[in-house]
Amino acid sequence: MASSPTAADQTATQGTPHIAFMDGMRGAAVLMVLIYHLKEALASDLHVSLGRLYLGINGFAAAGFMGVEVFFFISGFVLFYPYARTLFEGKPLQTVAHFVDRRALKILPSYVFSLTFMTAVALLELARPVNVATALDLMRNYAVHLFFAHSAFKDTFFAINGPLWSLAIEVQFYLLFPAIAWAFRRWALATPLVLVAISSAYRFYLQAHGGAYNSFYVYQLPGFLDLFAFGMGSSYLTVMFRALYPQLARWRIGFTALSLFTAVALNAMLFSLVAAGSGPEAWHWQNTFRTVFGALLAVFAVAGMLALPFWQRLVANPVLVYLAFISYNLYLWNKFVIRWMAIHVLPFFRDWPHSTLIANTLPFVAALLVGIAATYLIERPFLDHGWA
């Protein structure tokens, strides 16, 4: 018998199951990425200073790219959630056609618009007279990106808009997901273990052959399968515990403590990453510790969704939940907007009082506003009304 929804659960529009705790995690992940790109573009000390009070966030910012790995974990959770509800709550089985349609509605309109806009801007910014070969290469990059194939080539991997590499990985996983979900429903233990084994074998191979220091190899789909698997497994366990073991509510204090402890452990891992260094050293760290990071995310999430309401509300606070709502378009646009502001707007304020505060604040706010506008003008109309 299914238990009543907890504070971790909400129902979104159109009856879509919505997990507020996961929204909190998604909001934190996109904030990590946003602050990382802010520090990357400005190469400055990120802090808030009020008199003698100084709050620095440089360490948090330096590890912000790990927000992408959190996204992959959340994606696994969200994608499998309807199937978990079919298994344990008797909900109708989601068809492959419905899965494809919803993913396309979510991903394609915002992606194609942002990609086209950014490519057009790049063409306009080419030095005059325009080198035909350079323009044709940019259009080739555009075409490769349209088919989400840019992660397959070193020269297109980070082209046009660097963060788009993760969309290629995401879509590649979508192609495999129906088969993986089919297997997961039948072999709930073996399937994630196989995915973790594939990722581990791939990363061991990179370690043995020197690829662990190269982002092109570390950031390929086989190396992320365990994160998706941990997300799917977390979804399975969350719905199973909620439906079959309502008595676990008596252990909310223990689950709260476990989730808090895991949050501390995740934070320690991020400090370890920052200490390891940037560039190749950071990629090697990811190659080495990704499975541990994914396992901790799973414990944090599952325990958190069984925890006391105060902890669930703290993670799923209104700010993070709203950031989750705009997270897709904020992710697509934030680096482009921040870099554009740094080049074209911030030099005007260089000699102003509080110029550092302005430099840190204006790009941040601009990225938020563009993400909000794109969400309401492009993403939501398609999700709410379909292709019509």
Cα torsion 24, 177, 292, 187 to 10°: value is: 110
Helix ranges (DSSP H) in 212-317 = 215-218, 225-244, 252-276, 280-305, 309-315
- pLDDT given at position 43: 66
- pLDDT given at position 47: 56
What pLDDT, in 10s, does the model give residues 115-167? 999 999 999 999 889 889 999 999 999 999 999 999 999 999 999 999 999 99
2 in a structural domain: no
Q: Is 140 helix (H, G, I), strand (E, B) or coil?
A: helix
What angle do the packed helices 96-124 and 327-344 form, to 10 degrees?
10
Burial class (CB in 10 A: 0-12, 13-18, 19+), 345: middle
1 in a structural domain: no
Mean pLDDT, to the nearest integer, of 200-228? 98
Residue of 386, 387, 388 whose CA lies nearest to 13: 386
Instruction: Kindly state the greatest CA–CA separation across the chain.
Output: 72
CA 321 and chain centroid, separation: 14
- 314 has a pLDDT exceeding 70: yes
323 in a structural domain: yes
Give the long-range contacts of residues 378-385, CB within 8 A, separation 24 or more.
378/109, 378/110, 378/113, 378/329, 379/106, 379/109, 379/110, 379/328, 379/329, 382/105, 382/106, 382/109, 383/105, 383/106, 384/13, 384/14
Residue of 49, 25, 1, 375 whose CA lies nearest to 235: 25
- What pTM was estimated for this model as a whole? 0.92
181 in a structural domain: yes
Helix (H) or strand (E) holding 9: strand 9-11
Percent of the chain with pLDDT over 70: 91
What pLDDT, in 10s, does the model give residues 220-248? 999 999 999 999 999 999 999 999 999 99
Q: What is the residue whose two structure tokens read 């990722």?
A: 199
Q: What is the residue whose two structure tokens read 């273990």?
A: 193
Q: How far apart, in Å, do the first and last CA atoms of the chain sit?
A: 39
344 in a structural domain: yes
Q: Can you state the percent helix, strand and coil of the chain, rounding each to 5?
A: 80, 5, 20
pLDDT band for position 374 (50/70/90)? very high
How big is the CA angle at 18 (ends 12 and 24), to the nearest 5 degrees?
Answer: 115
- 333 has a pLDDT exceeding 70: yes
Q: Is 188 helix (H, G, I), strand (E, B) or coil?
A: coil
- 16 has a pLDDT exceeding 90: no
| Exposure on the CB side of residue 8, measured as CA atoms within 13 A | 23
What angle do the packed helices 225-244 and 190-209 form, to 10 degrees?
160
- 62 has a pLDDT exceeding 70: yes
- 3 has a pLDDT exceeding 50: no
Residue of 319, 301, 233 whose CA lies nearest to 263: 301
- pLDDT given at position 59: 66
Question: Would you say 327 and 368 are in contact if contact means Cβ atoms under 8 Å apart?
Answer: no
**How many other C-beta atoms lie within 10 A of the C-beta of residue 240?**
15
Average pLDDT over the chain, rounded to an integer: 91
Does the CA dihedral 379-381-386-388 come out positive or negative?
Answer: negative
CA 109 and chain centroid, separation: 18
- Residue 160 falls in which region: left (phi positive, over 0), alpha (psi -120 to 50) or beta: left
What pLDDT, in 10s, does the model give residues 78-110? 999 999 999 999 999 999 999 999 999 999 999
- Out of 15-29, 105-119, 255-269, 304-318, pick the least confident: 15-29
What pLDDT, in 10s, does the model give residues 29-48? 999 999 999 988 876 656 55
Percent of the chain with pLDDT over 90: 84
Helix (H) or strand (E) holding 18: strand 17-19
- Write the DSSP assignment of 196-229 as a string of letters: HHHHHHHHHHHHHHTGGG-HHHHTSGGGGHHHHH
378 in a structural domain: yes
Range of the domain at 282: 9-385
pLDDT band for position 77 (50/70/90)? very high
Number of domains, the chain: 1
State how beta strands 47-50 and 9-11 pair.
unpaired
* Cα–Cα distance measured from residue 114 to residue 370, given in angstroms and rounded to the nearest whole number: 11
- pLDDT given at position 9: 46
